[in-house]
Amino acid sequence: MSSDLLDKGYKPHDVEKRWYDFWEKEGLFSASERGNVQKSYSIVIPPPNVTGVLHMGHALNNTLQDILCRYRRLCGDNVLWMPGTDHAGIATQNVVEKKLASEGLNRHQVGREKFIEAVWEWRREYGSAIINQLKRLGASCDWDRERFTMDEGLSKAVRKVFVTLYQEGLIYRGNYIINWCIRCHTALADLEVEHEVHDGFLYYIRYPYSQGKGYVVIATTRPETMLGDTAVAVNPNDERYHDLWSRKILLPLMNREIPVIKDKYVDMSFGTGALKITPAHDPNDFEIGNRHNLERVKVIDDDGQMTSEAGKFKGLDRFECRKAVVEALKEEGLLEKIEPYQHSIGHCYRCNTIIEPNLSKQWFVKAKPLAEKAVRAVENGDTRIVPEIWTKTYFEWMNNIKDWCISRQIWWGHQIPAWTCESCEDVIVGMNAPETCSACGGTKLMQDTDVLDTWFSSALWPFSTMGWPDQTPILKLFYPTSVLVTGFDILFFWVARMMMMGIHFMGDVPFKDVYVHALVRDEEGKKMSKSTGNVIDPLSVIDTYGTDAFRFTLAAFAAQGRDVKMSEKRVEGYRHFINKIWNAARFSLMHIDKEYKDIPNESLSLVDRWILSRRFRAAKKVSEALDSYRFNDAAGVLYNFVWHEFCDWYLEAIKPTLYEKQGTNRKEATLSVLWRVLHDTLILLHPFIPFVTEEIWDKLPGTENSIMKSVFPLDAADDGSLCRDREAESIMKLISDIITGIRNIRGEMNISPSLSLAVSIHSQEEPTRRTVEQYKDIIINLAQLKSLSVENTRQRPKSAATAVVDNAVIFVYLEGIIDFTQEINRLDKEIGKLTGELSIVSKKLSNEDFLGKAPNHVIEKVKEKQRNLMEKQRNLQTNLDKIKALGV
């Protein structure tokens, strides 16, 4: 390796691509299939949609995973980070349908087979975009093992699971009320329906008795569904309707006789307290219908048009029909009134079309038995959810789980492995297409046209990616995985289902830990969205500031349970940190010209001992924080150690030694410490900022391999304490407090940093005096003094500014250093200027017109300015008082 000096400034773009290619080429991301020697550590990536474009959520999620993987490799583990993408059924089908539409075609014109071919073609062309973006983020996935939920192996796993669950009676086919999107032509899971509040109407309709005069009034928001009513329901406790119990109703417009039923579900306070029951078009009515064995009359078809069951309304669109029904009711004098009414309406999460609850034949997974085991696994600690607060949410959801509708009426996905015999209608479920019907021997067998919900295949991700159903070596080595890193938004869609499937098929949980991170929001804590216009594109941030600065920002703000508030300004701030590291390394490498293997303990100076101890503490804290997923704490420790301790104190303190002539024991000792601390610090930083650390590492004498092959510096002889050298740490604390005290006085008194000061330190304590005397040189050097005396006296010198540290008092002599009169005038003038500015701001803040019209954040800004000015004024006043008190 070369010992060339580093360039003057750090240029991320040259460096990032070069090192990423190198790591990949050298196979440094590859997991080993040979076990026994190392501990296994594994993470499966939450597979991004193959249509995906890297957004802030991906950036945070994958940065955290990468930090963990790089850290565990440095700790000596055999790490598998399993990458891949999800085929994302509806999302991908929509993208390709749009593409066809631009050519004037729809998928029905193209046909199923050709359409699926077109999707695969699209995937070949554009499907790796998100993968390349993850690489720019520095993600150290084992790319040779990259999987796709529709690849051959995973498709086999999907069929195996489907067939097994079917044979076990845990998959069944049944009529069910589902959320139906008439545009996408598919069933949607409850979680895929988005609810919005609409201004609608409540229609009050008279339902006449079938015998005798009179009617009952019923309120509904969807009058067109009345055509499919099969009962009227009242609450058995509702005294208003006791006389109704024995009656029958003649359904208006249809002239069908329907019964009156009693059900406790009926809300007495809604509308009139009498409810129309349409089992085929409302989920609650469906349940009531089941309880009372009601007929299900389907009046709206899968295109949103009225069926022949709707009588004369047949063929109308559902919303046209609503108008027509209202008109017809009016004509017959059956419409009592219409009231404006706000209510929540479900929309398709893909296309925003209003959902039509509809009756349909679908495939279901019986979720209860699977969920029970998944609940127990978290209860008994086989899987731990971090932060713990999500455990409660998990239990709530799992304990109330409903059967999972897994069929989707689209083309892109895993086609359901079920065939119906045309002659005897027998259904055959199997791994492969059967040639003959097992019941009647018929040969005309039709495969079910539906595909499986995307989440069905991703539920198998932790074991299907490792080769299951085959018993592969990596499955043995890496299942259960160590941790799943995920956002809470897919806790139910995905995490809960992986738990159910993993436990059922592998006999063990899919992950030992689930780390749930927060969302990335904008600076003010608002959700990023295109319509608000506050979206920050991670790739443009990387272009501007470099990947390392971006990654460090994400880690620094990833506090548990708190959203990450992201702004370019913050990333810019951490770019200064990257530059600081670069400059510190550049300075160090000007002096280090070889590897320093051993540290000569006997020749170490106080600051050498101190920085070694602090380095030890930093390593320990970083590892503890990462082991408990406190990424922000780890980043904070590193920031503080590198910037304040290593750069501000250590490098400054050793400068005189570095400029001594070559070869003294003291200089050699310091160089050996500098080499060691720089070496170890790069390793500590590497998981967070992989690129800049590798670039510096490459230039550090004595490093032959990539930094990825180094060892995390947790010393073996760990006595459990955070510092190794308590004495050095406590002495250094005193010395640095004294220096800071003198520097503060310089600032308050406006003394130029180049002026050398005379200082005396008074203490009644002999050990303190002895220590200060012993390390006088450091204080003189770092506080820029011309003299320092240490005295045992209570006497107070004249014309000296003071500061107190522990049991010592610092006196900085000002005679001849500052011109008291001139300084008093200067401060007076500055305070006068501030008073002027303050009065302008205060006037603004008492102006009603301004307060009334200006947006909140503008007012807040002015208030903040006022606070800052007041603070400045207070400080200057304090300084002025001090000088006056010293006054000649």
Residues that bind Zn ion (CB under 5 A): 181, 183-184, 348, 350-351, 353, 421, 423-424, 426, 437, 439-440, 442
Helix or strand (DSSP H, E) at 760: strand 757-763
CB within 8 Å of 454: residues ≥ 6 apart: 86, 87, 88, 89, 90, 149, 408, 413
For 761-790, what is the HEC assignment?
A: EEECCHHHHHHHHHCHHHHHHHCCEEEEEE
Q: Are strands 511-517 and 384-386 parallel, antiparallel or unpaired?
A: parallel
| Smallest separation, CB 436 to Zn ion (Å) | 8
351 or 590: CB nearest Zn ion: 351
Query: CA angle 851-857-859, nearest 5°?
Result: 30
215 or 349: CB nearest Zn ion: 349
209 or 349: CB nearest Zn ion: 349
182 or 325: CB nearest Zn ion: 182
211 or 423: CB nearest Zn ion: 423
354 or 386: CB nearest Zn ion: 354
| Smallest separation, CB 442 to Zn ion (Å) | 4
| Smallest separation, CB 430 to Zn ion (Å) | 14
Task: Go through the chain and tell me how many residues it has.
Answer: 888
Q: Are strands 757-763 and 808-813 parallel, antiparallel or unpaired?
A: antiparallel
| Smallest separation, CB 192 to Zn ion (Å) | 9
183 or 796: CB nearest Zn ion: 183
| Smallest separation, CB 418 to Zn ion (Å) | 14
| Smallest separation, CB 428 to Zn ion (Å) | 8
- Phi first, then psi: give them for residue 741, nearest 5 degrees: -60, -45
DSSP per-residue codes, 701-742: TT--S-GGGS-----SS--S-S-S-HHHHHHHHHHHHHHHHH
| Smallest separation, CB 180 to Zn ion (Å) | 9
* Phi-psi region at 185: left, alpha or beta (left = phi > 0; alpha = psi -120 to 50): left
188 or 578: CB nearest Zn ion: 188
350 or 497: CB nearest Zn ion: 350
| Smallest separation, CB 184 to Zn ion (Å) | 3
Q: Do residues 63 and 555 touch, judged by C-beta distance below 8 A?
A: yes
| Smallest separation, CB 189 to Zn ion (Å) | 13
HSE (side-chain half, CA atoms, 13 Å) at 317: 4
- In the β-sheet with 231-234, what is the strand arrangement from edge to edge? 248-251, 256-262, 231-234, 274-277
452 or 554: CB nearest Zn ion: 452
In order of 67, 256, 639, the CA distances from 686 in angstroms are: 8, 75, 13
Helix or strand (DSSP H, E) at 657: helix 652-658
Classified as helix, coil or strand, 789 is: strand
| Smallest separation, CB 367 to Zn ion (Å) | 24
360 or 672: CB nearest Zn ion: 360
Rounded distance between C-alpha atoms, residue 670 and residue 657, angstroms = 8
| Smallest separation, CB 377 to Zn ion (Å) | 35
Query: CA angle 428-431-432, nearest 5°?
Result: 80
Distance of CA 799 to the CA centre of its chain: 58
Q: Do residues 205 and 218 touch, judged by C-beta distance below 8 A?
A: yes
Helix or strand (DSSP H, E) at 249: strand 248-251
Residue 591: count of CB within 10 angstroms of its CB: 16
